[in-house]
Structure 1
Amino acid sequence: MLARLRIDTFILLLVGTVLLASLLPARGAGATVTGGAADVGIVLLFFLHGARLSRQAVVDGARHWRLHLTTGAVTFVLFPLLGLAIWALPILTAPLRTGMLFLTLLPSTVQSSIAFTAMARGNVAAAVCSAAFSNLAGIVLTPLLVALLIGTQGNGSAISGEGVLTIVGQLLLPFLAGHLLQPRIGGWVARQKRLLTVVDRGSVLLVVYAAFSAAVVEGLWSRVSAIDLLVIAGLSLALLAVVMGATGLLGRLMGFVREDRVVLQFCGSKKSLATGVPMAGVLFAAPDIGTILLPVMIFHQLQLMVCAVLAGHYARQAPAPVPASAD
């Protein structure tokens, strides 16, 4: 039933976590323990991401540099420009506008970008490289863009020296350590798909619970209405439609073959919840994180539903494979 409705089970877990935090928020010592566990989960998450990125993927990616640069430009230039346009609309409160802008500064997803590219019969190898490069660049570019675009909007979100150290310690160093150890542990990590899923989802859920607990204690649901949620959903759909149209047009203007245009569309149009949640925990004050993450969570589910439909459409239109000739 969930598959027919295009509802990811992880979304249900996220909704359940938000409900749990709304009814039973972590307080006092419980909040301290939850925050510590979330920090450990973030370190482990980025360590495993680094261990999954093989040296061969880096080498192979260099062969499609035009595709990866174009995808990166959509992710870190076009999206932020659209985010600034949304910021200028006086239809949301400041924290929710910050959340919409923060959403546009995130790197692409990894698993779903590759899965939808494969479903649409695109260039899967290029999708792996493009998604990996996007996340690697995002460790540096997303905090810089937050400091440049959000920190200058007068809401005090500029990155402090302590924030830089936290980013390096929790995100960059674990990623680099995992990548340096990749020749020794990469094969084992690649075989532990269940472990990776548990760490990916578990760390995100821990950060979401800690973030929404702090936000609920500070009165989150008295500041966010049902109308706000509908406006966020409408803006997210509009944002996704514009980027989908732009990537489709850009792929043709760049002269990419069909398989690479699929990569550009699916890797360029997505934003990573798995990366956005821990980054928000590092970049923003605890009471604001829950509100800021609402647009990211809503956009995540919408992008999965839209891309699932689009990937099926592309798969039906793909040319049939040429059968091998019999000897």
Structure 2
Amino acid sequence: MDRAMTTHDYRTIDVAVAGGDLRVAVWDPTDARTDDALLIHGVTSSHLAWPFVVGRLPGVRAIAPDLRGRGASSALAGPAGMAAHADDLAAALDALGIARVTVVGHSMGAFVAVVFAHRHPERVSRLVLVDGGLPLDVPQGVDTDALVAGILGPTAARLSMRFANTGEYLDFWRAHPAFAEAWTPELERYLAYDLVDDGAGSLRPATSYRTTAEDTVDMNAGAALPEALGALAHPTRLMTVPRGLQDEPPGLYAPAHLERMLAAHPSVVHQRVDGLNHYTVVMSDAGADVVAAVVREELDRAALLA
């Protein structure tokens, strides 16, 4: 059973944003609510990346959108980019009457979190960045397709693929090295949620390549992230893992590059989490144990200062 189903009641709402409606998941704690946490998923992901972590946060109301262009927000019109996602998050908090919140971002969601804190500083108490948020070590001046392929590899390639049914899609992912030791029913639900009808009798991933490309370029070459990092003022924790999207070392942040980034942003508190890859740091029991513990620490610190 999904652990979050025993600690929280799950619901979704649709929030009006520029271009349409943003789907937002809310996990209301079955115990008395003590805190709120805003959870932001990665570049081709959805809100269902988070149940492992949510189930380890009893008493916490967890709010997690499908970012525009993903999941049930895939039909949202208009361009994406870090600033657009950040403003969507503010609208989601408005809809739920939440003034200020601890923000947790994974992968691209960590970059969105940093920009959100810059554009809407009064809405953020603390930041938890999970394997993302500081600049990646990518070559400058490459074209969009090369940039996307270099960072995401097969994760981007699958966006143009078509599948006869959900079982075929799950079989595609079973061969993925990142989940060789971490296949669970929760993961199957997350993957199946990603599929939509392609209008021609097949299924396709909800995230469009165009949206992924726009976000990847903005995340790595746009102005929003460097401006936000240059003005970073919120307490910030960064967690990194030693293996990447294909379970390969050294992961998104090679040690020498990470050392440079941390030196450039000395206020960021870093924690290395061994034994995990870019996916399993949030979508496995072992990863969620660590992430939820850090989130709880930050929520407690925020409460002390409230």
TM-score (normalised: structure 2): 0.26
> Which protein is bigger by CA-based radius of gyration?
1
The answer to which structure, 1 or 2, has the higher relative contact order (CA under 8 A, 6+ apart) is 1
